[in-house]
């Protein structure tokens, strides 16, 4: 189905099950250890253990590799190097989402932590031991690891041309009030708790890969290209994912080399990436240098909006497009928004929760705060004054499908007690703590993806949902169950949801905040189809039939739903491909973040005291799981503001703090009780669910609210993230 017109009567609008606060249906499996994460599947019997040896240099060539001691070590079954692998070409050293993505290609090394050998042994310990007996001599070549050194060589990334509207330079020059500020954000790691892991098993020419991945159909297609196999000969299973945050959009050496070795050995191979390789072999969020120039008239109407992002990546990578939200967020007739991508030889860049906005707003929303100060204007008011209900580049012809930024700011201000903020920094003190409040807008574009699902009414009247959609901890199992229950007039407990298996209909997967809205829409159409089949079987008019309480009603005729499958299960499939509404309207989720922090006057330490996020993201399909997404996003936003930073060892080009002890993310002691407020919103141009993305909205802007609160508390403006105590003092 193409979604291009708002549905007439829509069973979802009843909100009997959808939009209700159901606890996650797979929760008991998770807390009792029965949910199978990638390394835990028992089906592949007798799996041998793989161990990926990462490169010890960033760029160069393997001159000599000696695996003889490794091959002779106890328990070793196989050692793979580039001498022994079947492929010949490498299109890009960056793991590509659904492209040819081999490992151990040739003697070239492109980044520290790239796979240079793969050892398979009877046990993990034996494989690890043997891997360290491999002797390698490298020839190194000069490499660049520091963005500031190469930023001026950057080029516009393909597919992201400069955005030029009006006369930015003239308007900026002549404006009475302006800021020209440069913010920097470091390399960051998604740092999922569950490591990337795969178990590969072959049956003849058919591969089954149990793995931890957000995008079942991307891995399947990528492996089919890598191994030159038909997609139908590859089955991907990814039922539970212990955190992805973008790093599991792609697949890595654990998947590819396990499959290769399992074929060679005729035996399943299981590989779990060791923690340091999660930081140096998989993707990370690339660093940025962002120059933001904003100019306004004396009333605070923006006249010129400029945002230049400098970023870097390996050849073939995208870097971090941190300027993009600035194209859409605020009004202003003269605009210049650009990204410059340079070549860097760090481990591969990739998506991390809200790629673009998450760090773009760290600059833009602080620059707005700085401009408000120049204007002697409340920063909340500055944002409200520059609200716009259409695409600021394309004009009123391209309106927002819905946009409640102002409402989010106003309602948040009321709830948070914004009026108590002292406009002059450094004025509120409790003992040794300086207290401040900050605000930022939240913005994340609403992406959609094609998505399909199958529904089956089982004998007995229970319903089964099957789709390739994944649940990365977000609540997909639950919201899909809710949508199916609502559509068929059942209770949530009457629905079984099966996810993360390429045997099921192809689905959106989880990424870019598109998962919930896209996958439930595919399911919606599958349920519509099933409703039609059942209505017709009962001799009812499908357009007026109602499904409620396990019964099917047409006027005053009523039949038990279970009767439809009394002779055997009946099933239906549906999918969504989206239509012109996604072109005609700009779609985004909006919100506002409020932060209260204390900055210690002696140590410079910052403590979060309160956070409030207001989210306007269409229908909230489940307020429990959606709130949980916001809490996670807010926590990650605090991490981005105060702690998170991959430290580059610029001698060798690796991230030196490559574990969860040294890569600091917030812990419970860092996070007080957080508050989330959802605005009532139904976006009937977004989907039949009238929902929009919410999974990443929570991180978008929260770090800037924290930074602005720190400035309000202390009078110290830091433009180099993370805002650690040494920079405050
Ligand atoms: Mo998201 S960073 O697209 O998982």
Residue 311, ligand 1, Cβ within 6 A: no
Residue 512, ligand 1, Cβ within 6 A: yes
What is the reported pLDDT for 64? Answer: 97
Distance (Å) from CA 349 to ligand 1 centroid:
13
Nearest ligand 1 atom, CA 510 = 4
* pLDDT confidence bin for 6, thresholds 50/70/90: low
What is the reported pLDDT for 84? Answer: 82
What is the reported pLDDT for 167? Answer: 98
What is the reported pLDDT for 9? Answer: 86
Distance (Å) from CA 695 to ligand 1 centroid:
9
- Beta bridge partners of residue 670, listed in sequence order: none
Residue 630, ligand 1, Cβ within 6 A: no
Distance (Å) from CA 273 to ligand 1 centroid:
20
What is the reported pLDDT for 530? Answer: 98
Distance (Å) from CA 696 to ligand 1 centroid:
8
Residue 241, ligand 1, Cβ within 6 A: no
Nearest Cα residue to 569 out of 467, 456, 665, 678: 456
What is the reported pLDDT for 646? Answer: 98
Residue 355, ligand 1, Cβ within 6 A: yes
> Angle, nearest 10°, between helix axes 702-714 and 623-642?
50
Q: Specify whether the CB–CB gap between 713 and 426 falls below 8 A.
A: yes
Distance (Å) from CA 106 to ligand 1 centroid:
30
Nearest ligand 1 atom, CA 352 = 2
**How distant, in Å, are the alpha carbons of 384, 434, 514, 673 from that of 695?**
24, 32, 9, 19
Residue 700, ligand 1, Cβ within 6 A: no
- Quick: pLDDT tens for 334-348: 999 999 999 999 999
Tokens 């408000």 — which residue?
Answer: 372
What is the reported pLDDT for 7? Answer: 60
Tell me the torsion sign for CA atoms 377, 381, 382, 386: negative
Report CA 374 to chain centroid distance, whole Å: 35
What is the reported pLDDT for 382? Answer: 98
Residue 352, ligand 1, Cβ within 6 A: yes
Distance (Å) from CA 62 to ligand 1 centroid:
34
- Quick: pLDDT tens for 599-646: 999 999 999 999 999 999 999 999 999 999 999 999 999 999 999 999
Substitution candidate for ligand 1 out of 215, 242, 246 with most atoms within 8 A of CB: 246
Kindly state the average pLDDT of the residues 458-468. 98
| Residue 721 in this model has a pLDDT that exceeds 90 | yes
| Residue 533 in this model has a pLDDT that exceeds 80 | yes
Residue 349, ligand 1, Cβ within 6 A: no
| Residue 43 in this model has a pLDDT that exceeds 90 | no
Nearest ligand 1 atom, CA 355 = 2
* pLDDT confidence bin for 580, thresholds 50/70/90: confident
Distance (Å) from CA 682 to ligand 1 centroid:
24
* The Cα angle at residue 626 between residues 698 and 580, in degrees rounded to 5: 85
Q: Which residue ranges form the domains of the chain, and what is each CATH number?
A: 11-35+449-577 (3.30.365.10), 396-447+584-728 (3.30.365.10)
Q: Which helix (H) or strand (E) holds 206?
A: strand 206-211
Substitution candidate for ligand 1 out of 188, 349, 351, 476 with most atoms within 8 A of CB: 351
Report CA 703 to chain centroid distance, whole Å: 17
Residue 249, ligand 1, Cβ within 6 A: yes
- Quick: pLDDT tens for 213-248: 999 999 999 999 999 999 999 999 999 999 999 999
| Residue 5 in this model has a pLDDT that exceeds 70 | no
Separation CA 612–CA 636 (nearest Å): 14
How confident is the prediction for the chain on average, in pLDDT? 96
What is the reported pLDDT for 217? Answer: 97
Residue 337, ligand 1, Cβ within 6 A: no
Nearest ligand 1 atom, CA 214 = 4
Which residues does 232 contact at the CB level (< 8 Å), separation at least 6? none
Residue 353, ligand 1, Cβ within 6 A: yes
Instruction: Count other C-beta atoms under 10 Å from residue 64's C-beta.
Output: 11
Q: Specify whether the CB–CB gap between 225 and 251 falls below 8 A.
A: no
Nearest ligand 1 atom, CA 472 = 4
Nearest ligand 1 atom, CA 514 = 3
Report CA 653 to chain centroid distance, whole Å: 25
* The Cα angle at residue 111 between residues 107 and 116, in degrees rounded to 5: 40
What is the reported pLDDT for 54? Answer: 98
Separation CA 290–CA 185 (nearest Å): 8
Backbone angles phi, psi at 678, to 5 degrees: -95, 130
Q: How far apart are the first and last CA of the chain?
A: 58
Instruction: Count other C-beta atoms under 10 Å from residue 715's C-beta.
Output: 14
Q: Percent of the chain at pLDDT above 90? A: 94
* The Cα angle at residue 680 between residues 674 and 682, in degrees rounded to 5: 130
What is the reported pLDDT for 616? Answer: 98
Active site residues: 696
Separation CA 208–CA 505 (nearest Å): 17
Kindly state the average pLDDT of the residues 550-556. 96
Residue 445, ligand 1, Cβ within 6 A: no
What is the reported pLDDT for 89? Answer: 62
Residue 511, ligand 1, Cβ within 6 A: yes
Substitution candidate for ligand 1 out of 511, 518, 640, 697 with most atoms within 8 A of CB: 511
Distance (Å) from CA 441 to ligand 1 centroid:
20
Residue 214, ligand 1, Cβ within 6 A: yes
Which residues does 327 contact at the CB level (< 8 Å), separation at least 6? 163, 335, 337, 392, 393
Q: Which helix (H) or strand (E) holds 224?
A: helix 216-227
Distance (Å) from CA 353 to ligand 1 centroid:
5
* pLDDT confidence bin for 86, thresholds 50/70/90: confident
Substitution candidate for ligand 1 out of 349, 353, 697 with most atoms within 8 A of CB: 353
Distance (Å) from CA 692 to ligand 1 centroid:
15
What is the reported pLDDT for 99? Answer: 81
Separation CA 67–CA 107 (nearest Å): 15
């Amino acid at each position: 189905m193409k979604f291009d017109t708002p549905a007439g009567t829509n069973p979802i609008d009843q909100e009997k099950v959808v939009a209700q606060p159901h606890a996650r249906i797979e929760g008991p499996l998770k807390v009792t250890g029965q949910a199978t994460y990638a390394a835990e599947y028992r089906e592949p019997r007798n799996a041998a253990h793989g161990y990926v040896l990462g490169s010890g240099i960033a760029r160069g060539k393997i001159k000599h590799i000696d695996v003889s001691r490794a091959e002779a070590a106890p328990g070793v079954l196989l050692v793979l190097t580039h001498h022994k692998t079947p492929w010949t070409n490498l299109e890009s050293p960056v793991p590509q989402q659904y492209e040819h993505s081999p490992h151990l290609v040739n003697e070239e090394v492109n980044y520290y932590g790239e796979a240079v050998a793969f050892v398979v042994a009877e046990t993990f310990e034996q494989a690890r031991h043997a891997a360290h007996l491999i002797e390698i001599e490298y020839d190194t070549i000069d490499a660049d690891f520091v963005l500031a050194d190469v930023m001026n060589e950057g080029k516009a990334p393909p597919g992201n041309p400069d955005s030029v509207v009006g006369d930015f330079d003239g308007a900026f020059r002549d404006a009475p009030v302006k800021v020209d500020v440069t913010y920097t954000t470091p390399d960051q790691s998604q740092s999922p708790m569950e490591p990337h892991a795969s178990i590969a098993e072959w049956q003849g020419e058919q591969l089954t890969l149990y793995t931890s991945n957000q995008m079942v159909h991307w891995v399947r297609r990528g492996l089919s290209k890598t191994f030159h196999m038909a997609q139908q000969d590859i089955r991907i299973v990814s039922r539970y994912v212990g955190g992805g945050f973008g790093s599991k959009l792609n697949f890595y050496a654990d998947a590819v080399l396990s499959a290769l070795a399992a074929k060679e050995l005729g035996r399943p191979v299981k590989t779990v990436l060791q923690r340091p390789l999660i930081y140096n072999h998989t993707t990370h969020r690339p660093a940025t240098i962002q120059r933001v120039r904003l100019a306004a008239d004396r009333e605070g109407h923006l006249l010129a909006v400029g945002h230049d992002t400098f970023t870097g990546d390996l050849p073939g990578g995208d870097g971090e497009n941190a300027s993009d939200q600035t194209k859409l967020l605020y009004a202003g007739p003269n605009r210049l928004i650009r990204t410059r991508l340079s070549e860097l030889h760090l481990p591969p860049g990739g998506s991390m929760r809200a790629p673009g906005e998450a760090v773009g707003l760290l600059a833009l929303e602080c620059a707005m705060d700085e401009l408000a100060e120049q204007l002697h204007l409340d920063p909340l008011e500055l944002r409200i004054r520059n609200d716009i209900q259409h695409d600021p580049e394309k004009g009123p012809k391209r309106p927002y499908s819905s946009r409640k930024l102002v409402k989010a700011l106003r309602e948040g201000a009321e709830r948070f007690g914004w009026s108590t903020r002292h406009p002059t920094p450094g004025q509120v003190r409790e003992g040794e703590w300086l207290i401040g409040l900050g605000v930022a807008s939240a913005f994340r574009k609403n992406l959609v993806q094609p998505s399909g699902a199958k529904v089956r009414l089982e004998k007995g009247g229970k319903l089964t949902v099957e789709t390739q959609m994944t649940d990365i901890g977000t609540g997909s199992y639950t919201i899909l169950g809710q949508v199916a229950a609502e559509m068929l007039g059942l209770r949530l407990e009457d629905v079984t949801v099966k996810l993360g298996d390429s045997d099921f209909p192809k689905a959106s997967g989880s990424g870019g905040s598109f998962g919930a809205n896209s996958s439930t829409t595919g399911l919606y159409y599958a349920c519509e189809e099933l409703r039609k089949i059942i209505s017709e079987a009962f001799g009812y008019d499908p357009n007026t039939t109602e499904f409620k309480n396990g019964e099917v009603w047409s006027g005053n005729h009523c039949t038990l739903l279970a009767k439809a499958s009394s002779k055997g299960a009946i099933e239906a499939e549906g999918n969504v491909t989206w239509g012109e509404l996604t072109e005609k309207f700009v779609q985004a989720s909006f919100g506002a973040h409020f932060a209260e922090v204390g900055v210690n006057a002696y140590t410079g330490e910052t403590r979060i005291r309160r956070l409030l996020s207001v989210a306007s993201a269409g229908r909230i399909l489940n307020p429990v799981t959606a709130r949980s997404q916001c809490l996670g996003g807010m926590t990650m936003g605090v991490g981005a503001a105060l702690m998170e930073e991959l430290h580059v060892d610029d001698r060798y080009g690796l991230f030196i703090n490559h574990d969860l002890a040294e890569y600091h993310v917030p812990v419970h002691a860092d996070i007080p009780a957080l508050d989330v407020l959802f605005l009532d919103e139904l976006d009937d141009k977004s989907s039949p669910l009238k929902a929009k993305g919410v999974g990443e909205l929570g991180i978008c802007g929260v770090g800037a609210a924290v930074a602005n609160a720190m400035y309000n508390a202390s009078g110290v403006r830091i433009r180099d993230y993370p805002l650690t105590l040494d920079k405050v003092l």
